């Protein structure tokens, strides 16, 4: 069974609570929360207050994807709002090692995200400290973009590195994942799929979530 983290970026925010309940009913493993600041990416979403509020309505773990500059300034706030995993972009933080240690010192799982053009060698001296690696398969900022085909090779390489250096790491993939390419992404070595528009863009969110779980 595939592990999935539906991204609420494509949800209807006027009924965010209800839609999260639907992915929970469909068997989602995490809620993926895309935080954007209008600087690191050309879009703005939400911050800790929304996370704190939705924390009350679901037991699903919160997988928080920070697409913000200098995430180190806000780690504590996101941790206290109820995040379970906090992922930062390697390019957005000056002292990646320090930021990862801070996430872990707050009792949270720590992830690093790599943009499509970011080479895998940014993982070299940090991989032992990570709980999750997020490989972006679109340029971050928006839902509904197309999967970049070159990322398939990057995924296979990342899988090899993880297996060799720290097999406990969760390999997550985010962007352009649809029902018709999800199996290929899993076969390339992914452990956890982020899916936005292909779940929340459907009328029946519960059954669409179940379909992904059945892969």
DSSP 7: B
87 touches ligand DX5 by CB under 6 A = no
List the Cα angle 66/139/131 in 5-degree steps.
Answer: 45
**Shortest Å, Cβ 128 to ligand DX5:** 25
User: Considering only residues 180-209, where is the footprint of ligand DX5 by CB under 6 A?
Assistant: 194-198
> How many other β-carbons are positioned within 10 Å of the β-carbon of residue 200?
21
Binding mask 15-34 for ligand DX5 (x = CB under 6 A): -----------------x-x
End-to-end Cα spacing for the chain: 6
Q: Given candidates 11, 68, 174, 182, which one binds ligand DX5 under the rule CB under 6 A?
A: 174
The listed partner (ligand DX5, Zn ion, none) that binds 87, CB under 5 to 8 Å by sort, is none
Residues 6+ apart with CB under 8 A from 72: 88, 93, 94, 95, 98, 99, 102
C-beta of 104 vs 142, nearer to ligand DX5: 142
Contact 188/2 with Cβ under 8 angstroms?
no
**Shortest Å, Cβ 43 to Zn ion:** 11
The listed partner (ligand DX5, Zn ion, none) that binds 189, CB under 5 to 8 Å by sort, is none
Q: Given candidates 40, 51, 65, 131, which one binds Zn ion under the rule CB under 5 A?
A: 65
Q: Given candidates 47, 48, 111, 141, which one binds ligand DX5 under the rule CB under 6 A?
A: 141
Q: Given candidates 175, 185, 186, 205, which one binds ligand DX5 under the rule CB under 6 A?
A: 175
C-beta of 39 vs 165, nearer to Zn ion: 39
Q: Residue 174 catalytic?
A: yes
The single residue of 34, 37, 131, 198 carrying the catalytic annotation is 34
The CA–CA distances, whole Å, from 109 to 61, 130, 156, 185 equal 11, 8, 23, 23
Q: Where are the alpha helices (DSSP H) in 12-150?
A: 16-26, 48-54, 75-81, 96-105
C-alpha atoms less than 13 angstroms from C-alpha of 77 in its C-beta half-sphere = 12
- Supply the residues annotated as catalytic: 34, 174
């Amino acid at each position: 069974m595939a592990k999935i983290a539906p991204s609420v970026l494509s949800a209807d925010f006027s009924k965010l609570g209800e839609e999260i309940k639907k992915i929970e009913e469909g068997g989602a493993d995490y809620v993926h929360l895309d935080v954007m600041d209008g600087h690191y990416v050309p879009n703005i979403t939400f911050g800790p207050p929304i996370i704190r509020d939705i924390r009350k309505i679901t037991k699903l773990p919160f997988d928080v994807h920070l697409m913000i500059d200098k995430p180190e300034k806000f780690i504590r706030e996101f941790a206290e709002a109820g995040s379970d995993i906090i992922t930062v972009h390697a390019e957005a933080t000056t002292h990646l090692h320090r930021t990862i240690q801070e996430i872990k010192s707050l009792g949270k799982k720590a992830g690093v995200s790599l943009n499509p053009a970011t080479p895998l060698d940014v993982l070299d001296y940090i991989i032992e400290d990570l709980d999750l690696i997020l490989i972006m398969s679109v340029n971050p900022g928006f839902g509904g973009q197309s999967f970049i085909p070159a990322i398939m090779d990057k995924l296979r390489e990342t899988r090899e590195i993880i297996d060799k250096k720290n097999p406990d790491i969760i390999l997550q993939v985010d962007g352009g994942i649809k029902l018709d390419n999800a199996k290929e992404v899993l076969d390339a070595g992914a452990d956890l799929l982020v899916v936005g528009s292909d779940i929340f863009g459907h009328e029946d969110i519960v059954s669409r979530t179940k379909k992904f779980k059945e892969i």
